[in-house]
Amino acid sequence: MQTRFIRALLFAFVMLCMSAAAFGAVGVAITIGPPPLPVYEQPICPGDGYLWTPGYWAWGDDFDDYYWVPGTWIMAPEVGFLWTPGYWGWGGDSFIFYDGYWGPTIGFYGGINYGFGYFGVGFEGGRWDNGHFFYNRAAANINVTNIHNVYNTTINNVTVNRVSYNGGNGGITAHATPAEEAAAHERHIGPVAAQTQHIQQAHSDPEQRASRNQGKPPVAASARPGDFKGEGVVKASDAGGRYTPANPRENGSAPRPESTPGHVRDLPAAERPTAPSSGDAKQDKRNQQQLDKQYAQQQKERTKLQQQQEKEDQKISKQNNDAKKQQVEQRHSQQTQQLQQRHQQQSQEMQQRMAPAPAPAPRPR
């Protein structure tokens, strides 16, 4: 009798684990995108073998709000494994969170620039070599007195933005490459126990909720998972953009991201890009010419759309039709978002093609 009782308990436990795993694979769907990514510094790596996992906004069904899961250093579950961050993506009628995972190759994470090596594509914070992890000091906060397996590869032409989701209104427009899609089908594992506990602690802390911290969480990152107090804790220095409530019941409508201007004239002035130095003067000149050509074409497209929008604004202002004005405003907002996203993607692709090949990691002594 006792044996059967124990078996029943074990069976229930297994089924519970399977249900939890299935839930994680499907993700949580909501209709309102997360706030911009907050501004924060990376805490120093606590020791050799720890890998960085960036912070992100998670969703709490029980309190209908986003809450910030701090970035933290985690021991890799296996030698050679890297962390592919999770990300929010627009699914056509709702936002869906795609869980992160550990695997031998970095997969697609929405093109989100989480920083600290995760700049939208791949990972530049370090690499495995002969069973040992080497840290790139250009992207990771490492104490070289304690950790000697380091190298320094400069990271150029990274597009800085605080957009925290892919697709939808104002989201990143990146798409998975065949290699990134293949990475998702390789052998991989989900978050380890320390990461799960870390998420649970963030969920249970009301101060981590966006409605409480206005997009500027008090614990933006921590040196170790689950450590929300002490010297290794880093608070956000600023919110990534204006905070608007995530719960539509609080303001009667879905929020409009601050990073989504309504007209082309509201966009910040585009800076003329500079080609990275490759050590080859002729190649650098050709790269700069390509960047200048792309920049001129983008400026031409901006000017053309701005003139079109201003002409339509002048026309509609003479009409006493509020509904029509609202339609025109919505169309202008969508046009501006699409233009901004397209130009960002074009610039990112050009920068990736021109980026110098990374230097090989030094062999361990």
HEC string of 175-219? CCCHHHHHHHHCCCECCCHHHHHHHHHHHHCHHHEHHHHCCCCCC
**Cβ atoms of residues 236 and 40 within 8 Å:** yes
**Cβ atoms of residues 358 and 153 within 8 Å:** yes
φ, ψ of residue 281 in degrees (nearest 5): -60, -40
281, containing H or E segment: helix 281-317
Q: For residue 103, what is the DSSP state?
A: E
List, in order, residues 6 or more apart from 122 with CB less than 8 Å away: 106
**Cβ atoms of residues 198 and 72 within 8 Å:** yes
265 against 11, higher pLDDT? 265
Length reported for the chain: 365
Q: Whole-number mean pLDDT of the chain? A: 83
Bridge pairing between strands 221-222 and 233-234: antiparallel
Residue 13 burial by Cβ neighbours in a 10 Å radius (0-12, 13-18, 19+): exposed
Query: CA geometry: angle at 200 spanning 69 and 76, to 5°?
Result: 70
Q: Is the pLDDT of residue 179 over 80?
A: yes
Q: Is the pLDDT of residue 152 over 90?
A: yes
Least confident of 62-66, 347-351, 360-364: 360-364
Q: Is the pLDDT of residue 360 over 50?
A: yes
pLDDT for 362: 58
**Cβ atoms of residues 46 and 143 within 8 Å:** no
pLDDT for 88: 95
Overall pTM surpassing 0.85 (yes/no): no
324 against 179, higher pLDDT? 179
pLDDT for 345: 80
pLDDT for 250: 40
Q: Is the pLDDT of residue 251 over 70?
A: no
pLDDT for 217: 97
pLDDT band at 200 (very low <50, low <70, confident <90, very high): very high
Least confident of 52-61, 171-180, 283-292: 283-292
CA 280/CA 261 separation, integer angstroms:
39
Could you give the C-alpha distances from 265 to 20, 269, 310, 336, in angstroms and in order? Answer: 48, 9, 9, 9
- DSSP result, 302-327: HHHHHHHHHHHHHHHHTS--HHHHHH
> In the Cβ-directed half-sphere of 140, how many Cα atoms lie within 13 Å?
33
pLDDT for 361: 54
Q: Is the pLDDT of residue 70 over 50?
A: yes
Q: Is the pLDDT of residue 43 over 80?
A: yes
Q: For residue 172, what is the DSSP state?
A: B
List, in order, residues 6 or more apart from 248 with CB less than 8 Å away: 31, 32, 254
pLDDT for 350: 81
pLDDT band at 313 (very low <50, low <70, confident <90, very high): confident
Once rounded to an integer, what is the mean pLDDT over residues 142-166?
88
One-letter amino acid for residue 112 of the chain: I
233, containing H or E segment: strand 233-234
pLDDT for 128: 97
Token output for 259: 């990073």
**Cβ atoms of residues 111 and 166 within 8 Å:** yes
Kindly report each contact of residues 57-61 with a partner whose C-beta sits within 8 Å and lies 24 or more positions away, as own/partner: 57/88, 57/164, 57/210, 58/97, 58/199, 58/202, 58/203, 59/28, 59/30, 59/34, 59/97, 60/203, 60/209, 61/28
15 against 90, higher pLDDT? 90
Once rounded to an integer, what is the mean pLDDT over residues 308-323?
81
83, containing H or E segment: strand 82-84
Bridge pairing between strands 126-129 and 233-234: unpaired
